[in-house]
Chains A and B, each alone.
Chain A
Amino acid sequence: MPFPRTREGRDHRDHHQAPSEEEVLEKWDWNCPETRRLLEDAFFRDEDYIRQGSEECQKFWIFFERLQRFQNLKTSRKEDKDPGHPKHSIPALANLPSAYDPRYRINLSVLGPDTWSSRGIGRRLPMERMSEFRRAMLHYLDFGQKQAFGRLAKLQRERAALPIAQYGNRILQMLKDHQVVVVAGDTGCGKSTQVPQYLLAAGFSHVACTQPRRIACISLAKRVGFESLSQYGSQVGYQIRFESTRSAATKIVFLTVGLLLRQIQREPTLPQYEVLIVDEVHERHLHNDFLLGVLRRLLPKRPDLKVILMSATINISLFSSYFGNAPVVQVPGRLFPITVVYQPQEVEPTTSKSEKLDPQPFLRVLEAIDNKYPPEERGDVLVFLSGMAEISTVLEAAQTYASHTQRWVVLPLHSALSVADQDKVFDVPPPGVRKCILSTNIAETSVTIDGIRFVVDSGKVKEMSYDPQAKLQRLQEFWISQASAEQRKGRAGRTGPGVCFRLYAESDYDAFAPYPVPEIQRVALDALVLQMKSMSVGDPRTFPFIEPPPPASLETAILYLRDQGALDNSEALTPIGSLLAQLPVDVVIGKMLILGSMFSLAEPVLTIAAALSVQSPFTRSAQSSPECMAARRPLESDQGDPFTLFNVFNTWVQVKSERSRNTRKWCRSRGIEEHRLYEMANLRRQFKELLEDHGLLAGGQAVKPGDSYSRLQQRRERRALYQLKRQHEESRGRRRKVLQLQEDPGGCSSDEDQAGPASQGADDGVDIQDVKFKLRHNLEQLQAAASSAQALTRDQMALLKLVLGRGLYPQLAIPDPFNSGRKDSDQIFHTQAKQGTVLHPTCVFASSPEVLYTPEQETRGSERTRDVKDKMSSQHQLLTFVSLLETNKPYLVNCVRIPALQSLLLFSQSLDTNGDCSRLVADGWLELQLADSESAVRLLAASLRLRAQWESTLDWQLARKAQQRPEEEEEEQDLLASCKEMAALSRELLQFMASKVPYSLRRLTGLEAQNLYVGPQTITAAPRLPSLFGSSTLSPHPTKGGYSVTDFLTYNCLTSDTDLYSDCLRTFWTCPHCGLHMPLTPLERITHENACPEAPQDGPAGTEEDAPEPLQKVSALQRPFHCEACQKDFLFTPTEVLRHRKQHV
């Protein structure tokens, strides 16, 4: 092979150059920008390896300067010429270059401009300099190659050094012979990152790997993508609720367990995968346990499907035996020795039973570390605390200590932080400073931080527990299990020998439970049961769970779903139930969405449902800042918290759509976590798509034509946004940043600002969240929805509350009758199962409780001074709430006030009456005493009719959606008919809600509730008068006594001293519709009214005009407009305003 001639190697010059070359060489200055630009123009064009203006180009010049300095050094001590070698006998060696030159060691060559277009440049740049430059480029490229190859080799070395590397072949081998393999290994053994790659290498191309957490999906996909060298390709992807990087080329996908279950729901045999890795099975999450059960049933049907269960070395035999003694590959972890120091807290807080945690023991550990270990010995601290409140307590104290010593950077870590804030724990502290991370149990398994040398373990964890009786969630503090304690300890020994400080006694440790309680045994199972039903896995009671849930929880869940109408009496899924099963939200919120879209309130309900499905956006710290609270006030709605959230979201969208305004700032000044609002926007969009998919919402509005200019404008804006996003992603490729010592220890901890100046330098203050938001959402549409929301009419508002009330039923609370005499913060409420619940401090009714007080009925003459308890009024209110959460007190979360009588009549599962219907008991715990039996009967009759109508409309609509779309015309007609029907129903509901009847409301005492019913009667003489009963036949109620009128209404079953025979008491009555005049019992009146042939079907005639207008489709330009001339409010575009004004001229 001839010696390859490098093109830049020829140094004989072409001498038809300008004569001034010597001069040019003399004056040559590499640093002159003009020179550099000329060279860049020539060598760094768009099609070249290095492009002008790129980051690469900057790097090159830095490299170039360094190379120059180095070569100057070298030339100054230039050695004498190599004597030259004798020609070698082997031909390959024979024609090695005779004189050594470093460039012979470079295996590439750059095509310079001389090959294509030298003339112009050649005149300005002397050849010698050109070749010098080209040589530098060569070295630069070679350097880049060596660097990249070095990284590649290092990566492979590290992978090979992982403990699991020894077991890769064994796992693959076992997978050949067995359908299920358990891989058990402790953190750090590399199982989560390596096993998927072994599968890839073995040729599998449809691999799913489930993770319990979304964060893990993203970070694993990135890591595995990187290690398997397809980081920027797409073989490795992830899929989580709002994001997916999956494509046709994806071979491994990391996804959440919930998402995989939904895939199984769609395709029960999971045909798209060959191998399924279920990671972190030992964590025993609800979904994971369920998935295992589903898989156990699926395996016989999919003999070709392979399953790998991955677990820490905890309770492995449980998993193995559940899958027919599946083989176990146990991988030793890679841990350095860890010293355990027990430091029990001497003085238990017995005297001061303050709820606050004492940060002192934690500070003492920091102090001890400062005293014992010199600062140059690196090693960070990880503190495990039970919850966010504890973290902020210790954070405050530790930051004071840190600012004092200047040797610590203290960082919180919990799931409520934004991703950016969570990422900070991976940054490195400056030399001589240690990082102290205060974490919940999130750092126990899911987040792994390098460089931890000390672990401080409080021994506590806060977990949700569920009380099925009270339907109450409790966030309680528990001792951790031994398994968790070991896991926490292990975090200290990942990078070197470590120390674990346990702030409890060894005897405490011995008393810990061996394993944590599986989630399935401590949470509400409503959603799980619903999902099981929709996946047709049979009776949940007999489902082969790996460890079954408590039967009581299952029964409560089934009962609850029946109450909610998701299951029928035979426990089969109802149409609404099957729809609910597909919405990834709480049943109550799902119901709201469905109901809302039927009443043409989809837009506001979407927002509210999304707002109720994310954590509260209100930051805790703002609670103590009067400015924040004052800034928030205009957003508050005295209707209830969901409406406040609704206002917050809408206003935020408005602020966003005003170009120049910065929502980050807007949020901060109001104590709002903007991250939550982004989540709401994402959820809202997902809900909308779901409703559209299920035909509950008309699909995406036709794209507004717009003029070509604005379209062009839009496209340009989008392109600019994409560009920003790309730049951001490139510049930020997770480079570890150096943390700064905090200057103000008291500052809010989670503020984006703190990282601001340091981390955002490159971004030029670009709010990447904002950019992503604008790319993902149609801001114009959102803004239109938001501005229409501000123009909600009273009627729409009332309907919206009705929808919420029905969705949230039976989550009701009654204000304590003596609340008006209590302090604002001491308002008490009672639910059916729980007495003495309180409002969350952020609740609007906690700051203005007076809106719940019942005004005294305008003097009804006689008894003004009745007992407060039996106050007569037409305005009693109840609270309906989203959840009941017990921490140190039982809190009602997200409350809305609703009119009591009307809501109970419309929603109650059980309504019992006395003989003349003046006394009603709803759901066996709330008693309503109406002043006037006449109006009681009238209301009751109306509610019966409305409920029936509502129910049938709902069923009909759902059934219609369930069918495949009918022909176009039919659909048009259907749509028109259903619109009319809904309008009529809404109108009547509104009338019903507006009815004013004085009554008293109270909660029955326990004793009263027990002795509520007369019980089965011996004389079961059903009232006669068959002609008046219509089709419904009355039967005596078997347990309560009285008669069942509908499945919820039982007539005359309430005990009382007077009305034992009242069902026989007839009084003369005239039917307002048909004029029938005869003596009837109240019951007979109701049944007549329901069956009266003359009764209007669609409510009283003549009220068509004031039908609640459906939410108009609002153009983005419309604004509320109040016309002074005609004193009316409109929603007008500017041109409409002009047109309207002309009318008055």
Chain B
Amino acid sequence: MASESERRPLGVFECQLCALTAPYSYVGQKPPDTQSVVLLEESYIMKDPFTSDKGRFLVLGSRCSLCSRLVCVGPECSLFYSKRFCLPCVQKNISAFPQEIRQDLEKRKAPPKRPSSQPGYRT
């Protein structure tokens, strides 16, 4: 194998809502080893463990812009709408969010008809 300049993990990220843990190697808005992508929030990032490509990163989570809780990006814990909001905060301030987001949350609350982990843009 080629020489590996492995980044040492800075610490362990832990979601304060779902307790998901993972080691992170960078916190900030400019993921290392890539020039063309910037993040719109201060994020906890690890190297994407599912690919051998060095430049790939995976955003684990960031702080809720209301309560500053550290939350993961999982749809059960937080959402991003121009900034990060943890779901409890969204619920509390649901009226501040556009209808699309409200609908989304409604859907999520209802028993998922399909595995809701299917992200993306399919109907």
Contacts and interface: CB of A to CB of B under 8 A. Distances in A.
Interface of A: 1, 3-4, 6, 43, 47-49, 56, 66-67, 70, 82, 85, 88, 90, 92-93, 96-97, 100, 102, 104-111, 139, 141, 143, 145-154, 156, 226, 229-234, 245, 247, 249, 730
Given A93-B96, A229-B46, A730-B52, A146 B37 contact: no
B50 to A, nearest CB: 6
A11 B19 CA distance: 41
Interface string B1-37: 1001010000000000000111100000000001111
Contacts of A66: 121-122
A111 B72 CA distance: 25
Contacts of B53: 56
Contacts of B100: 100, 102
Interface in B90-123: 93, 95-101, 117, 119-123
A1129 to B, nearest CB: 47
Contact of A148 (B20, B58, B62, B99): B58
Contacts of A148: 48, 50, 58
Given A49-B36, A156-B20, 15 more contacts: A49-B55, A56-B53, A67-B121, A92-B66, A93-B66, A93-B93, A97-B82, A102-B100, A107-B40, A146-B120, A149-B58, A149-B72, A229-B22, A231-B49, A233-B47
A143 to B, nearest CB: 5
The 7 nearest A-B residue pairs measured at CB: A146-B119, A229-B49, A100-B98, A93-B96, A107-B80, A232-B52, A48-B36
A105 B81 contact: yes
30 contacts: A1-B83, A4-B82, A43-B36, A49-B56, A67-B121, A70-B121, A88-B93, A90-B93, A93-B66, A96-B82, A96-B98, A105-B80, A105-B81, A107-B59, A107-B84, A108-B40, A111-B35, A139-B121, A143-B120, A146-B73, A146-B119, A146-B120, A148-B48, A148-B50, A148-B58, A149-B72, A150-B117, A152-B20, A233-B6, A245-B1
B84 to A, nearest CB: 7
A49 B46 contact: no
B70 interface: no
B118 to A, nearest CB: 8
A291 B39 CA distance: 53
A108 B82 contact: no
Contact of B96 (A96, A102, A141, A730): A96
A233 B50 contact: no
Given A4-B82, A105-B80, A109-B38, A88 B46 contact: no
Nearest to B52: A232
Nearest to A104: B82
A106 B80 contact: yes
A108 B37 contact: yes
A145 B58 contact: yes
**Among B51, B79, B123: residue with most chain A CB under 10 A:** B51
A43 B117 CA distance: 29
B58 A3 contact: no
A372 B107 CA distance: 41
A853 to B, nearest CB: 57
Contacts of A245: 1
Given A96-B81, A96-B97, A107-B80, A141 B49 contact: no
Given A49-B37, A100-B99, A153 B82 contact: no
Nearest to A157: B20
Contacts of A92: 65-66, 83
Contacts of B80: 105-107
B119 A105 contact: no
A130 to B, nearest CB: 14
Contacts of B41: 107
A108 B55 contact: no
B88 interface: no
A570 to B, nearest CB: 49
A143 B81 CA distance: 16
A626 B35 CA distance: 64
A149 B49 contact: no
Contacts of A231: 49-50
Nearest to A115: B36
B96 A153 contact: no
A244 to B, nearest CB: 11
A107 B95 CA distance: 22
B53 to A, nearest CB: 8
A169 to B, nearest CB: 14
Contact of B74 (A67, A93, A153, A229): A153
Contacts of B51: 232
Contacts of B66: 90, 92-93
Nearest to A100: B98
Given A4-B82, A70-B121, A82-B98, A108 B36 contact: no
Contact of B119 (A85, A100, A147, A226): A147
B119 A143 contact: yes
Nearest to A154: B117
A919 B66 CA distance: 105
Contacts of A85: 95-96, 98
Contacts of B6: 233-234, 249
A110 B37 contact: yes
Contact of B73 (A102, A110, A145): A145
Contacts of A82: 98-99
A45 to B, nearest CB: 8
Contacts of A104: 81-82
A93 B82 CA distance: 10
A47 B35 contact: yes
Contacts of A150: 117, 119
B39 A108 contact: yes
A156 B21 CA distance: 8
Contacts of A67: 121
A49 to B, nearest CB: 5
A226 B51 CA distance: 10
Nearest to A71: B121
A151 B50 contact: yes
Given A92-B65, A247-B4, A111 B37 contact: yes
A150 to B, nearest CB: 5
Nearest to B34: A49
Nearest to A89: B96
A41 to B, nearest CB: 14
Contacts of B72: 149, 153
A97 B98 CA distance: 9
B38 A152 contact: no
Contacts of A143: 119-121
A418 to B, nearest CB: 23
A109 B36 CA distance: 8
Contacts of B84: 107
Contacts of A49: 34, 36-37, 55-56
A1065 B79 CA distance: 111
B59 to A, nearest CB: 6
A229 B23 contact: yes
A70 B74 CA distance: 24
A232 B1 CA distance: 10
A3 B39 CA distance: 13
A107 B43 contact: yes
Nearest to A43: B36
B21 to A, nearest CB: 8
A1119 to B, nearest CB: 38
Nearest to A107: B80
Contacts of B62: 107
A247 B66 CA distance: 44
B42 to A, nearest CB: 10
Nearest to B79: A105
A68 to B, nearest CB: 10
A152 B22 contact: yes
Contacts of B101: 100
A867 B58 CA distance: 88
A4 B40 contact: yes
A96 B89 CA distance: 14
A43 B58 CA distance: 21
A56 B40 CA distance: 23
